[in-house]
Structure 1
């Protein structure tokens, strides 16, 4: 495994590649993303341990979308079995992905715990869906401080886990080392990731403005608000799927492809993305 340093201009290219590959297999990729989110929602409904289990599944869901995007780029149709790719590539990698999921859940809950020290847990409860966001909460100084604290702390957590699922799956790197190498790759390519984030913000903004225009036209035409709500949900799902689809390209450009000898991954359609 060798780290690559890419120019900052690569960031917007990752966004373009994610969008382009999504439109090669839009139905398959959107269905896989929806299924992974539905599985996490069902896991969250388990009494007591549900939210922790749902959080622990996120690295596996991210890996599934990376594998699906790699398959779509190769002209193949991702199948539902891709969702289980993290659990079908050998005992060693299964254990590593479970450890990775546990570490992510612990890290995320730790962030929520620290934010709770600021506002008594109000932001954490809103974020986790326990209580609704009210105007009073939104105007609370403690709530805003807790929110920004959580955002700031989540950035390094995201860097730790950004490449980690791919490193575990395609390179066989142990979980803790995968977290370290993931963070290093993000820091060393900070310019590219900064423009990557800006480009996605631009995409989200433009899409939101276009949707607002469409909804306004529909309202003037008297077609009702239900169509607008449906369009909003569809747009949110599409953009989220595109975002997760683009992650594999950040991984591919930040690390050299492993030696061509990963039989378990290949059997499950998880061949490493090639440069």
Structure 2
């Protein structure tokens, strides 16, 4: 196993590859993404241990979605067993990755709380009334600190679950090789991030704005009729693009 250094344009190809894989079977991949969301939501509502259980499950579930993308690319069958079956691949390491990611996230939020007294955290987790009361606060510094600290965590975590599950690497090695692969390919990842911003925020935002200008009194109708189906197209394609990035950096690029 060796990570390749790819040209900057590869980041755009990953996103295009994600949409190409999604077109292979939109209903099935969409169903698996919805099942992923509902599983995480269900675990989160478990009293006391909800956030921990969800964090422990996410690495295995993310591998399941990557397995589904690979199966679709190769013309193999895909079902719910594809999503949940990956929980059994190197389970101790996957659970450890989930626990470590939760600890890192909490640690980063703790650092931001030391800077602003916890205002950013309350704004993120609070209700509408609490967010309204904090809207005038300046979150620039704590948000910047969170971003700076979170980027290396995301780099170490990006490929770690699939490296642990498919290559049977230990927790430390999976994090290390993931970080190195992302570092070697920071240029394509920069383009990939811009592409994600474009398809998940800018284009939907512009579309929503135009529709609200045309139909100013139909906000709820537009959200239900247009934005939800759009999310069910964009989200599965983005999950499939995660696999495309792994495939091109660690594996043999296949024509989709």
- The TM-score normalised by the length of structure 2 is 0.89
Q: Once superposed, what is the RMSD of the aligned Cα atoms?
A: 2.1
Cα–Cα, structure 1 residues 193 and 66, in superposed 2: closer, same or farther, change >3 Å? same
Cα–Cα, structure 1 residues 197 and 84, in superposed 2: closer, same or farther, change >3 Å? same
Residue 13 of structure 1 is matched in structure 2 by 13
Aligned residue among 185, 188, 201 for 1:189: 185
Secondary structure of the structure 2 residue equivalent to 1:76: coil
Contact 1:7–1:191 under 8 Å retained in 2: yes
Residue 69 of structure 2 is matched in structure 1 by 69
1:95 matched to 2:92? The reply is yes
Residue 236 of structure 1 is matched in structure 2 by 231
Residue 35 of structure 1 is matched in structure 2 by 35
In structure 2, C-alpha distance between the alignment counterparts of 1:147 and 1:58, rounded to whole Å: 24
1:62 positional shift: 1.7
Residue 160 of structure 1 is matched in structure 2 by 156
In structure 2, C-alpha distance between the alignment counterparts of 1:170 and 1:32, rounded to whole Å: 20
Number of residues paired by the alignment? 252
Residue 142 of structure 2 is matched in structure 1 by 146
1:69 positional shift: 0.9
Secondary structure of the structure 1 residue equivalent to 2:7: coil
Structure showing the higher helix proportion among its residues? 2
In structure 2, C-alpha distance between the alignment counterparts of 1:55 and 1:120, rounded to whole Å: 25
Contact 1:28–1:77 under 8 Å retained in 2: no
Contact 1:3–1:185 under 8 Å retained in 2: yes
Contact 1:32–1:83 under 8 Å retained in 2: yes
In structure 1, C-alpha distance between the alignment counterparts of 2:115 and 2:151, rounded to whole Å: 19
Contact 2:61–2:87 under 8 Å retained in 1: no
1:77 positional shift: 4.4
Gaps of 5+ in 1: 258-272
In structure 2, C-alpha distance between the alignment counterparts of 1:236 and 1:164, rounded to whole Å: 26
Cα–Cα, structure 1 residues 69 and 203, in superposed 2: closer, same or farther, change >3 Å? same
Residue 24 of structure 2 is matched in structure 1 by 24
Gaps of 5+ in 2: none
- The TM-score normalised by the length of structure 1 is 0.83
What whole-Å deviation, never above 9, does each CA across 1:112-144 have from its counterpart, x for those lacking one? 2212212232322443x3433634423212x34
1:67 positional shift: 0.8
In structure 2, C-alpha distance between the alignment counterparts of 1:60 and 1:164, rounded to whole Å: 11
1:101 positional shift: 1.2
1:10 positional shift: 0.8
Residue 165 of structure 2 is matched in structure 1 by 169
